Structures are given as C-alpha cells and as structure tokens.
Chains A and B, each alone.
Chain A
Amino acid sequence: MRKLSVIAFVLFLPLLLLALIQLNDTLNDPGVTVYNYVKKADRNMTPSVDHTQFEILQQPFEDAHKVTAACLSCHTNRHEEIMATSHWRWQRDEVLEGRGIIPLGKKNILNNFCIGIAGSEATCTRCHIGYGWVDQSFDFKEPTNVDCLICHDKTGTYQKEKGNGGYPKASVDLNYVSTHVGSPGRDNCGVCHFWGGGGNNVKHGDLEISLLDCTLEVDVHMATEGENMSCVDCHVTEKHQMAGKLYALSSENKSRATCEQCHTNKPHNDKIIDDHNLRVACQTCHIPVYAKVNDTKMYWDWSSAGELDEHGEAFHEPDVDGNHKYMSIKGTFVWANHVIPEYYWFNGIADHQLISDQIDTIPVQMNRLMGSYRDKGLFQESEQPSKIWPVKVHRGKQIYDMVNNTLVQPKLWAKEKGKNAFWLDFDWDASVKEGMAYLELPYSGEYGFVETEMYWPLNHMVSPASQSLKCIDCHTRNNSRLANLNDFYLPGRDTNWQVEASGITLIILSLIGVIIHAIFRVIFRRRYFLSKKFKEGNES
C-alpha cells in the first residue's frame, strides 16, 4: 500500500505542480501590465510654455490664415510635416493588390454614406485641417492654408463654419483660441471623427461623443474614472504623422495603431488564450458590442431620397428613438445600439471599389477586407496571418450608372439652388451629370440604385475584461458568434455528420448487444439452475 501511494504521488507530481502553478497565477495576478506607455499620474502634464505670453499672439487676427502665420513664425516649417500627412492631403499613395500604386483617400474614394466629396468640397472640408478647400483649385502648398487650431484648440470654442471650405465661424475669438493651445484631446479629434457622415456615431459605431465622458463599461481606456486616455496616447504621433488608420480609406497593412504596442501579443498570462491571438484579433473578444451608448447608422437607402412635402420642401422624419428615419436629402435610415459585430477574416489589407471599377459583386463591397482562414502568414501567403476581426457592416443602396456598370458621384451640395446639387434640386440625373463632369468621368445618363456594403473594423469601446467574450460565445453549436465564418473547423461548433452518425451507431449497437446478451444470460441461467435442481431432485 505504501509503495502504491509513493507511485501515485510520483505520477501526479506533474499534475499537482501544474495545478499549483495555475493557482499561483491566479493569486498573483498582477493586473494589466503595459509597455511603451507612461501613466498619466507619472507624467508631467503642465505645458512647457504659456502661449498667452507670446507677443505675436497678442493681436486681433483679421483672419485664420494670420493665426497660422503666427504659429509658423515660432514653430518653423511645421507645415511641411502637416502637408505630408493624409489629414492634409486626404489621400496617400497606396498599393492595391494587383493594381499597383494608386493615390487614395477621402479625396477620391466613394463610401456608402454621403458617397464622396467631389463637387461638394466646400461642405465636406469643414473637417479638413485647412482653410479654403472649396474646389479642385485649392492650394495644398500654401503654408497659411493649414488650420492649426482645429486640432490644438484647448478652449472648446473653436468651430468651423458649415459650407465654407473649413474656415472658422466668424464668432470665434481667434486671439483667445490661439493663446490656449495644446496637445489634441478627445474633443479635438472627435469633432470630425465622431461626427463623420453627418451626425454623431453615423459611421464608426465605436467612436462617438459619449467617449468624451464615459464609464469603464463603455471604454476602459478613455473612461473618465479610469486612465482617461487621449486618442494620441495610442495613435502615437511623430512629426504630425499619427499611427493608425481606418480601412474605409486605407489599403495596406502598415502604420497601424495596435493593442500589442502596449499590451504585447501575450498579455493574458495564460497560454491557451494568448494562443488565440495568432488568429483572433484582441478586438474580437474585447469589443463584444459597439454603439454602447448612442445609436449608429446600420442602413442607408438613397433610393428613397427626394420625396418632398406638400409645399415642395424637403422634410425629415424621426424614428421612435429620435434618430432620422427619413430625410428627403438622404433617404431612409436604420439605426441601432448595442450592436453585435459581424466577424471577418482580415490580414490588414483592403481593396476598394473605385469610381472607375466595374461592379462585379452585389452587394458592392466598397472596401473589401482581405483574408481567410487559409491565409496563415508565417510560411504562407502574407506576412501576418489573417485574424478574425469584429466589423461593423454598413449596408445601403446607392446610385450607380446602369450602362457603364460603375458607381457614380452625384453632386450633392451647393450654396444655392440651380447648381444641380441633389440636396437642393432633388434631380438625380442632373446631379450625377454635374458630379461626373466635375471628375471628367463618363456617365451614360441611366442611373439605378445598387446594394452596397462597407466594412468598419472595430477598435474602440473596449470593454472591461470581465465583459469580454467567453469561450462558449464562439465554441458552441447554437448561435456561435462565428456561425457565418465557415471556412475552417472550429471546435465546439463544427461536427461532421458521418463521424457523428457512425460513432453514435457504434455506441447504440454495443448497448443493444450488451443488453440482449444480459437478458439471455438471465433467462438461460435461471433455466439452467432450474433444470439442475430438477435433476438433483430426481437423483435423490
């Protein structure tokens, strides 16, 4: 017996050890360890200079250009950095798989929200970091065209005017703003990135005004009660070049802002979960839902746009939650909150449906995310394996050229009626003619509406660890989050019916055999003993 227990002990020593190690891990959980990041509490947050004391800023600025000139008089040649960024150029040279280098960006890419900026620049460029971009004649080389204040204003009073090419409102006190500047906060970035597409949270779903003051449940990084991080804490910036971009406009797997830059690719102190990171993006588990506070736009049908009320005026109707359900200028919308993402394989490379491209899939994929299970990286096609990503898919119907089979650019906006802008004249044909002529592209004159999809990989609204996805959310036969990602075998979700059928048949057959055999034994034994007793009785 003693020998036995010794052997048992030796055998289970490794198991015991394993259990102890795991126990130790849970007891000594050090919390979240981050790298390449200095906590705000450990930083000197006082500005190094006081801009109110600079003489050059003590002037009533006639116009915004003069402010920029003043900035550049000390911050010499900073405009050169700005002018190299896509925030300024609204395009960058991107390699599209199999198509070579194409300059792409907001300047020329179409989306399935407000479609595109061409012909309507004066209103769209309210979100451009410059002054005066109203048409193609804008001078991208003029240093004083740069708008420093939109990003560096710390007063919250700096606002750009509608439809005026990015100039500030006349009410803005330029002297006050220019003397109160600093590193961009969430409000600076948010004024454009929260409001893209014509309203709060229309586009991203995970970027919206609630992030200006939110709880840990909404976003662990930006929560006011938490680390209260600014955008640029993750979107690390050097010489005005910000890390990170969105695949609505980008195509290449480069200069991305990643979770790994602070958290490493093995942050869990747990091998099985860390291993998932090989093929599953952090975001997939840690952003279980998006649009956690305000609604985001899920569907935009342009084909119903243009209805006017009895006075011939444009109108709009709210839905029960107060969001626009219908707008004469834009069509029909569907909004949603607490949306469960859709999941796609993604290797960091995206393709785009350019205005010159033939439509070959319906729905049209505006920015197809590349990747598949088989794209494993390492020794295979791409450098990085495709990972499963959570994506907001924005679906819609938008105008296209039925003869040339391409998407088209209608002119949407103008200062006044009669310029063939759809939002004022409500004439699709005229607005497309105008828009396509502006781009010097062909238009057959026959338009229709085609279904489109646009993909927005999610990165923000990271939930606390306790609310991240659990194994069973994906590894389950019913209602798996990955139910639609079918190009691979997922344990717990997938079975092969032949394997199951033959296995279960085997079990049933063996059970039947065993039961029949047992019954026979009982019957025959009894008969045998009875006959034996009978014989014995006879003999005596």
Chain B
Amino acid sequence: MKKVYLYKGFERFWHWTQAFLIFFLMLTGFEIHGSYNLIGYENAVRWHDDAGWALLILMIFASFWHVTTGEWKQYIPTAKNVRAQMEYYLTGIFRNAPHPTGKRILSKLNPIQRLVYFALTIIVIPVMVISGFTYLYFNYPIQGFALDSLEPVAFIHTIGAYILITFVIIHLYLITTGHTITSNLVAMITGWEKMDEEEAQVAVEDVIESTKRHYVKQINGDKKKKAKKNKNTDSELK
C-alpha cells in the first residue's frame, strides 16, 4: 500500500470551511424560514448574513485558486465513463468490483462527480448567491430594478437550499464508498489517500507527464540553425 498526496492545503481548507459554512447557513437559513426555533430569529438572521458574506469571500479566493492552479479543469464534465460509473454504483459496488475510473492527481473526480460539481458550481451556487444577496438587499429598490415582491426570490433561495441538503446527504454517503469506509474522509482531512501500488502508479503518472510538458519543451532546431547560419554569413560579409 501507498499514500498519494491528493488534496493540497488550500483545497482542504476551502473544502472544510465551505462545508462548515454551508452547514451553518442551512441551520440558520431554515430558522429564518420558520422551520424551527434554535438560536433565536434575530441571531439567525445576523449569523446567516455574516456567513453568507464569509462564503462569498471564500468563493472568490477559491475561484482564484482554481484558475491560477489550473485545477478548474478537473470540473470540466465528460460523457466518457458516465455509464460505467453509474453501473458501478448500481451493481459493481456490491460485487466489490474496482472503481471504473481511477483517481489521478490531475483528475480526482469521477465522471458523475464532474457532472454534479459542475452543475453545482455553474447553476446552484450562483443561483443561491444571487438570490441570497437579492434577499439581503431587497429593501433598496433601484430604479428600473424594483422587484414587486420578495416571494420569488425567497422561493428560489429555498428550493436551492433543499437541493443543497439533498446533495449533502448523498455526498456524505458516497464518502464511505472509497477504498475503505473512511479512506476518502481521511484523504480530505490529511490530503493523503491510501492506494494500491498500481493505483498509486496511475495516480501520479499524468502529473509527472504534465510537469515534464510544463517545464521542458522541444525546441524546433532547424529554424534556429538557419538563423544562426545567416548570422554567420552576415558577419563573414563584414
């Protein structure tokens, strides 16, 4: 067995902070929604607003990180192996079959994860952020943009919250489908994931290749040679 460093420091910090904030937003959000009384309505509102801002700031940092590191590419959805992954969850997993897509450092997500996280990032999260801040600043009608009612904003925000809860439930469950029940969880905490020799080999292969490509480039020799030659002749003429 080997350990592979899969999740970098910031990535884990981002993940857990976001997890905490989303959980906290759920807790306070549904109190504001009137579902229960827990920390008091006034506290719920204040903390929900503050947590919303904190999440927005975190997201800005996370987006920056994803763009500068190129990690964003991991979320590009792919149709390849979606079926295989589906079949794995529906049948293979019960036969202890191997994961159809191995985890690689440059491709940590399976095709279904890619699809779901992409949808979250592109649809659900922006809708929640926009509806959330519209909710927060609803009191200030801007000419030409005076909403008639808070109702649609609140409905959208609530639907988004229910979708996020559903995601969290399934996400928490799927954590247990790793190598062992806790291996995924441990990986997200420590950054290191346990793997077979073979899996570990696969996981690092492409990162080595890409590093090579990134730092070493083949030089097109002929053109340069020609230029050199010309230079030489020029100097000769002088």
Which of B125-133, B158-166, B201-209 forms part of the interface with chain A? B158-166
Q: How far is the CB of B52 from chain A (nearest CB, A)?
A: 11
Whether a CB of chain B sits under 8 angstroms from the CB of A3 is yes
Map CB proximity to A onto B87-102 as digits: 1 under 8 Å, 0 otherwise: 0010001111000000
Contact residue among A491, A492, A506 (Cβ-Cβ distance under 8 Å from B162)? A506
Which residues of chain A from 163 to 218 have a CB within 8 Å of any chain B CB? none
Contact residue among B33, B53, B141 (Cβ-Cβ distance under 8 Å from A492)? B33
Instruction: From known contacts A8-B13, A275-B139, A376-B146, infer whether A499 and B34 are also in contact, taking CB-CB under 8 Å.
Output: no
In the complex, chain A residues whose CB is within 8 Å of the CB of B173: 514, 517-518
Which residues of chain B from 190 to 230 have a CB within 8 Å of any chain A CB? none
Which residues of chain B from 24 to 80 have a CB within 8 Å of any chain A CB? 32-34, 37, 40-42, 45-46, 49-50, 53-54, 57-58, 61
Tell me what chain B mostly uses at the interface: helix, strand, loop, or mixed: helix
Q: How far is the CB of B48 from chain A (nearest CB, A)?
A: 10
Contact residue among A19, A499, A510 (Cβ-Cβ distance under 8 Å from B170)? A510
A495 to B155, CA, bound (A): 8
Q: Are A514 and B139 in contact (CB under 8 A)?
A: no
In the complex, chain B residues whose CB is within 8 Å of the CB of A496: 151, 155, 158
Which residues of chain A from 470 to 511 have a CB within 8 Å of any chain B CB? 470-472, 475-477, 488-489, 491-496, 499-500, 502-504, 506-507, 509-511
Interface size in chain A (residues, C-beta < 8 A): 55
Q: Are B42 and A525 in contact (CB under 8 A)?
A: no
Whether a CB of chain A sits under 8 angstroms from the CB of B23 is no
Q: Are A272 and B46 in contact (CB under 8 A)?
A: yes
A508 to B34, CA, bound (A): 20
Contact residue among A18, A374, A477 (Cβ-Cβ distance under 8 Å from B34)? A477
In the complex, chain B residues whose CB is within 8 Å of the CB of A524: 94-95
Whether a CB of chain A sits under 8 angstroms from the CB of B1 is no
Interface size in chain B (residues, C-beta < 8 A): 46
Contact residue among A379, A380, A492, A506 (Cβ-Cβ distance under 8 Å from B163)? A506
Map CB proximity to B onto A1-39 as digits: 1 under 8 Å, 0 otherwise: 101100110011011001100100000000000000000
Q: Are A502 and B96 in contact (CB under 8 A)?
A: no
Q: How far is the CB of B171 from chain A (nearest CB, A)?
A: 10
Q: Which residues of A contact B (CB under 8 A)?
A: 1, 3-4, 7-8, 11-12, 14-15, 18-19, 22, 272, 275, 278-279, 373-374, 376, 378-380, 470-472, 475-477, 488-489, 491-496, 499-500, 502-504, 506-507, 509-511, 513-514, 517-518, 520-521, 524-525, 528
Given contacts A279-B139, A494-B154, 10 further A-B contacts (CB under 8 A): A11-B57, A12-B54, A18-B50, A470-B42, A471-B45, A472-B41, A491-B32, A499-B162, A503-B161, A524-B94
Q: Which residues of B contact A (CB under 8 A)?
A: 9-10, 13, 17, 32-34, 37, 40-42, 45-46, 49-50, 53-54, 57-58, 61, 89, 93-96, 139, 141, 143, 146, 148-151, 154-155, 158-159, 161-163, 165-166, 169-170, 173, 176
